[in-house]
A and B are shown apart, each in its own frame.
Chain A
Amino acid sequence: MIRFLLRTSVLMLLAGAASGCTDFIEPNQLAFVMGTAVDHADDGEIEVSHQIVIPTQKSGPFGGSGDSDSFVVMSAKGKNVFEAIHKVQKKMTRRLMPSHRQLIAISEQYFQKDDVSTLFDKLNRDPANNLRDITVLVKGDLAKNFLLLDHPMEHLSSIATGKEMEINGMNRFSTRQFIIDSLSEGTRPLVPVLQIEQVKVRSKETGPIAALSGFAALNKKLKIAGFLNDAEGAGAVWMSGKGTFHAITLPWKNGKDTLSFRLTHLGRKIDSADDHDPQRIVLTVMAQAYLLENTTSLDLSETHYMLEVQKYMNDKIREDLQLTMDKVQEWGSDVFGIGEYLHRSSPYWWKSQKDDWDHKFKALDVTVRSNVQLRSVGASGTSFN
């Protein structure tokens, strides 16, 4: 008897569940959001645009050149992020799925006029978001236009940018890192900047492409403190410990020949110059250098030339980086994390400083040193010119 009851109850449970199963969603009812753009709109609203990939039947999604058929951009305006997204969903025939998102692009205007930190509440709270996408700043144009671009090699511009950053060794710029940096008191975020340029990729085609063109340093209120161009930005990235590899070209002493190096294993160390005065900092950058182009007349298989080149390289690097450091320091935006270092090494002194770190950072005396090792001079000795 009791077995019978048991079985009927199980069956009823299953039947009830079967009729109520509304939770699965077919892949062809999903819209995969690959990139999101946030723009400032009038009347205090923001505009959110999603770049959505369309799975095409014929070719695989990532083979072949860009089709105009492989994505759409849908956008809507709203008072906050959630409202805007909700409105986008209303326009969509499929459910938005942001879990595979590669990129969040925020326009410069948005940075200036709105508060970026409001974005993060939604990102953090809703468990459907993962914070693995990259946050970039779009300069000089609406972020939405960036999403609307085609790309000659990849199907979607957001995937293209994601891959571009990964290939070029800049994979520490995820949103999570951004949030951590913006919330901690001793660091300020460093955001990659994209600019839309006209590029001629084929003889008949000149089209706009968004390319990485430097970095922006933000201050405490997440407003832009200043822009660094490509070279300075790379240096700043190195000094803040976020870089993986780098390439530099140095003019030789006679002004016309050049030496080019590829730097790997980038690292940096922060120390106090003087134990009693926390305001004097030494930041040492480290790397391993491989000489890859040499148009000077030096025969670099000779040891003393190698030593000379190494010393020269270190000096030049130090000069360049010091310039960048001073520039950034003037803006008062500590993207290098020196504040965090001070937080750990002299926590009690830090407590008095941390509230107005943007100002106090300017008062620090930071010296840059360079400790780059020349590992190899390539496959030939003298240059062939």
Chain B
Amino acid sequence: MKVSGYQMFWLISISSLIVFSFLPMHLAVEQARQDGWISILLGGMIMLAATWITLRVCMQNKDKTLVGFVKDLLGTVLGKIVVVFYFLLWFTQMATIVRGMAEFQNLVMLHNTPMVLILLCMLFLVAYAVYRGGIIAVSRCAEIIGPLFVLLLYVQLFLNPQDMDVKRALPIYADSGWLAILTGTLHSFNYMVDPSIVLMLFFFAENKRTASRAIMWGTAVAMLWGVLATLVLVFVTGPRIAAELVVPVYSLTKFVSILNFVQNIDAFYIPFWLFGAFIKLSVGLFILSYGISEWTGFKNWRLIAWLAAVACLAFVLFSAHRIELSNTLKNAYLIGLVYPALYIVLPLILWMLGSLRRRRKTANAA
């Protein structure tokens, strides 16, 4: 199964944008008010760097997936344990996204439909896509959905020109100070981009060079959008309201009024978010099942995909009834420790180990 560079670009940018549009902006603006965009910018830089490090690691281990080369570098036992963490990460991310999506639908559009139904439909589609064609199906879908999705997200930012007041973003820095900005960055950067999927996807790339460039571009596109969106949010609603909105991008679409005729277009945007969520979930499911199949040696990753989808459904239904599990976004433990470890620290370690090995190999060979 080969993924071209172009497809990789869309896969990464959609996955990043969909999470970006959901969480980080609210977290950053809450802390830093109208300077939220600086927080986002800083966070984006950090994540770009993390992606770059991840790419270095992948380039070093071109012909293996994460499961493979972690075993190489860290030894079998430690490697397996580390990979389990990644599995948990992807699994919980999937659960969070699908639950967030279903709850959002329930709140906004379909009030009476049981959440189970929406969950079932979505997970069924995701599992079907992965079953049918693996990453090829997902990447082809991403190619089609991608341009529309990204275009619409960008266009949405510019549909409010009459309500944007640039001066609302002023004064820069004076109100918040560096502490607030950094807190904003700290809270939000984990949710911006997910470099860990690259660890698995890179193996499937057809041409490694173009793929790595595509991945960097994808992340950059998402980051640019994030900064612009935060700016537009502050322009349109001012810092006080922006800090209170839970899903700011959605509220932005509600304000759009073109020619006093096209209004309330949020119902039009929500299917596109669904498409984006679908891509992210499919990518997540695929790497999860492929990774588990490699980890356990059980060859039929398609079957694992179905099982994982069912497990995800069960987990979501279970955690929906427990509020502590459903509101883990601001959990300091997660933000401060787990996410940076998985996104930044581990790839760094792997990179260093890989470089050491290489040096040792060339030294041995010479």
Q: For residue B131, which residue of chain A has the nearest CB?
A: A6
Q: B208-254: which residues lie under 8 A (CB-CB) from chain A?
A: 237-238, 240-241, 244, 250-251, 254
> Which chain B residues border A22 with CB–CB below 8 Å?
112-113
Asked if A183 CB lies within 8 Å of chain B CBs, one says: yes
> Which chain B residues border A124 with CB–CB below 8 Å?
241, 244
A180 touches B121 (CB 8 A): no
What does the 1/0 interface line of A334-352 toward B look like (CB < 8 Å)? 0000001001110110000
Q: B79-114: which residues lie under 8 A (CB-CB) from chain A?
A: 107-108, 110-114
What does the 1/0 interface line of B153-196 toward A look like (CB < 8 Å)? 00000000001000100110011000000000000000000000
A-B contact count (CB 8 A): 60
B113 touches A21 (CB 8 A): yes
A180 touches B111 (CB 8 A): no
> Which chain B residues border A21 with CB–CB below 8 Å?
113
> Which chain B residues border A180 with CB–CB below 8 Å?
237-238, 240-241
> Which chain B residues border A258 with CB–CB below 8 Å?
none
A23 touches B257 (CB 8 A): no
> Which chain A residues border B112 with CB–CB below 8 Å?
22-23
Q: For residue B167, which residue of chain A has the nearest CB?
A: A344
Bound Cα distance from A99 to B174, whole angstroms: 38
What does the 1/0 interface line of B114-131 toward A look like (CB < 8 Å)? 100100110010001000
What does the 1/0 interface line of A1-33 toward B look like (CB < 8 Å)? 000001001100100110011110000000000
Q: For residue B238, which residue of chain A has the nearest CB?
A: A180
Size of interface on B: residues with Cβ below 8 Å to A: 30
> Which chain B residues border A130 with CB–CB below 8 Å?
254-255, 263-264
B174 touches A347 (CB 8 A): yes
Q: A193-229: which residues lie under 8 A (CB-CB) from chain B?
A: none
A13 touches B124 (CB 8 A): yes
User: Which residue, A20, A99, A132, A179, has most C-beta atoms of chain B within 10 A?
Assistant: A132
B174 touches A348 (CB 8 A): yes
Bound Cα distance from A344 to B171, whole angstroms: 5
Asked if A131 CB lies within 8 Å of chain B CBs, one says: yes
A176 touches B113 (CB 8 A): no
Q: Whole-angstrom distance from the CB of A272 to the nearest CB of chain B? A: 14
Bound Cα distance from A9 to B310, whole angstroms: 13
Q: For residue B174, which residue of chain A has the nearest CB?
A: A347
B171 touches A127 (CB 8 A): no
B107 touches A127 (CB 8 A): yes
Bound Cα distance from A22 to B238, whole angstroms: 38
B237 touches A176 (CB 8 A): yes
A344 touches B170 (CB 8 A): yes
Q: Whole-angstrom distance from the CB of A159 to the nearest CB of chain B? A: 13
B121, B174, B175, B251: the one within 8 Å of A13 (CB): B121
Q: For residue A120, which residue of chain B has the nearest CB?
A: B241
Dominant secondary structure at the A interface: helix
> Which chain B residues border A13 with CB–CB below 8 Å?
120-121, 124
Asked if A184 CB lies within 8 Å of chain B CBs, one says: yes
A99 touches B264 (CB 8 A): yes
B171 touches A347 (CB 8 A): yes
> Which chain B residues border A345 with CB–CB below 8 Å?
171
B240 touches A184 (CB 8 A): yes
B171 touches A131 (CB 8 A): no
> Which chain B residues border A343 with CB–CB below 8 Å?
170-171
Q: Whole-angstrom distance from the CB of B104 to the nearest CB of chain A? A: 9
Q: For residue A174, which residue of chain B has the nearest CB?
A: B163
Q: For residue A345, which residue of chain B has the nearest CB?
A: B171
Q: For residue A177, which residue of chain B has the nearest CB?
A: B163
Bound Cα distance from A92 to B240, whole angstroms: 36
What does the 1/0 interface line of A49-90 toward B look like (CB < 8 Å)? 000000000000000000000000000000000000000000
> Which chain B residues border A23 with CB–CB below 8 Å?
110-113
Bound Cα distance from A99 to B264, whole angstroms: 8
B117, B175, B244: the one within 8 Å of A17 (CB): B117
B108 touches A176 (CB 8 A): no
> Which chain A residues border B175 with CB–CB below 8 Å?
347
Q: For residue B257, which residue of chain A has the nearest CB?
A: A132
> Which chain A residues border B240 with CB–CB below 8 Å?
180, 183-184
Q: Whole-angstrom distance from the CB of A94 to the nearest CB of chain B? A: 16
> Which chain B residues border A176 with CB–CB below 8 Å?
163, 237, 255
Bound Cα distance from A99 to B124, whole angstroms: 33
Bound Cα distance from A23 to B250, whole angstroms: 21
A-B contact sample (13 more), CB < 8 A, given A10-B124, A176-B255, A344-B171 = A16-B117, A17-B117, A22-B112, A23-B111, A130-B254, A131-B255, A180-B237, A180-B241, A184-B238, A344-B167, A344-B170, A345-B171, A347-B175
Residues on A lying within 8 angstroms of B by beta carbon are 6, 9-10, 13, 16-17, 20-23, 99, 124, 127, 130-132, 176, 179-180, 183-184, 340, 343-345, 347-348
- Can you report 30 A-B residue pairs in the complex whose CB atoms are below 8 A from each other? A13-B120, A13-B124, A20-B114, A21-B113, A22-B112, A22-B113, A23-B110, A124-B241, A124-B244, A127-B250, A127-B254, A130-B263, A131-B254, A131-B255, A132-B255, A132-B263, A176-B255, A179-B241, A180-B237, A180-B240, A183-B238, A184-B238, A340-B167, A343-B171, A344-B167, A344-B170, A344-B171, A345-B171, A347-B171, A348-B174
Residues on B lying within 8 angstroms of A by beta carbon are 107-108, 110-114, 117, 120-121, 124, 128, 163, 167, 170-171, 174-175, 237-238, 240-241, 244, 250-251, 254-255, 257, 263-264
Closest 5 CB pairs of A and B: A347-B174, A183-B240, A344-B170, A347-B171, A22-B112
